[in-house]
Amino acid sequence: MVLVGGIYHTDADKLLRTNTDVVALERPSSEQIAAALADADGAIVRYPYRIDDKVLAGAKRLVAVASSGRGTDSIDVPACTRHGVVVVNNPGFGTVPVSEHAIALMLALSRRLIERGKAIRSGGAWDKRTDLDVLDLYSRTLGIVGLGLIGSEMTRKCIAAFSLNVLTYDPYVPASKAEALGATMLTDLDELLERSDFVSMHCELNDGSRGMIGEAQLRRMRPHAFLINTSRGKVVQQKALEKALAERWIAGAALDVFEDEPLAESSTLFKFDNLLLTPHVAGLSGDALRALANSAVTQLLRALSGERPKNVVNPPAWDAAMARRAAAA
C-alpha cells in the first residue's frame, strides 16, 4: 500500500498500518510515485500529487486508488479506467464544514472585518467607524452556483439564519430541488450574477465549470457584490478576478481554493486589500478530517479484499481490477 502525501487523521493511519504494509511518500516526485506503485496493490493520494498514465504504466499489481477527500483532482480517472484500476472517493463529509466556512467568509466580507482589524491595529479606528460601507445579510440576495450537497446546505442555512433570497444555478439538477429548499433556480448564470449581492461557488470542476467565472461574468456582478469560492480554484479565472478587484468592478472576494496550489509566496493575489484568503481549509474540521480519512482507508481495504466499495468513481474498471487482484493472489 502506498500513501502519497499523507493522510488526514492518525486513527485512519493506524487502521491502514494494522491491515497492510505501508510505504509513505511525503513529498514525492512523479518518478518516486511510479517506483512505489510498481509493487503496490493500492494507494491513497492527497492533492496536489498525481496518479496518471505516467505513474500507472508500471503499476501491474495496482487494484485501487482512493482520493484522500471528495475530489478526484489528483487522479486521472480515465487513465485509471484504461489501466483497470478502481478509483474511490469520499463524498458527503465536507458538507457541514465547507458551508460553515463559506458563511464565515461571507460574513467577514460583508462586515468588512479585514479592514476593521487593520484599522484598530494601526490607530484611529474609533473616529472612522462609519467610513466603511457595511452590508447586513438580512434579506439580501445570495447566488449559489452548484446545488449539490454543499450548495444545498449553504442554501438551507442562509435562508434559515439570515432570510436571504437565494438564487441558484446548476444545469445538472432540476428546479424542483431549489424550490424544495425555498430557493429559485435560474437557467441563466448571467442573470444570477446580475441580481446577487453575494455569489458563492459550490460547483464541481468539469469541462462545463472550468473557467466559468471570467472577465465577462465578473463585469456582470454588482459593484457592491462579493464573490466567494470554496469549490475548486479553476472555476474562477484568477487573472480576470485580479482585474475585477483592482478596478473595483466588485467590492471584494474570498478564496479558499486557487488555480495552482499551494499558493506561491510571490502570488499577486496578496496585494489586494479587498480579497480574503484561506489555504484550502474549508472542509478540514477535526470531525470531517477523521471521517474522510477513515472512509478512504475503509473503502480501499474493502476493494483489496474483493468487496465493492460504496463510492466507486469508475465502475467500468471494477471487473478488470478484480481480475488483476485474482492474478496476483
Positions annotated as catalytic residues are 232, 261, 280
Which of helix, strand or coil describes residue 65?
strand
- Residues 143, 298: Cα–Cα separation, whole Å: 37
- Residues 265, 67: Cα–Cα separation, whole Å: 27
Query: Which cell numbers hold the place of 240?
Result: 480576470
Q: Between the CA of residue 226 and those of 76, 105, 164, 254, what are the distances in Å?
A: 33, 10, 15, 8
Amino acid at 298: T
CB 256: neighbour CB atoms within 10 A?
23
> Which CB contacts under 8 angstroms, 24+ apart, belong to 245-250?
245/272, 245/274, 245/275, 246/272, 248/223, 248/274, 249/218, 249/219, 249/221, 249/223, 250/218, 250/221, 250/222, 250/223, 250/225, 250/226
Amino acid at 38: A
DSSP state of 271: G
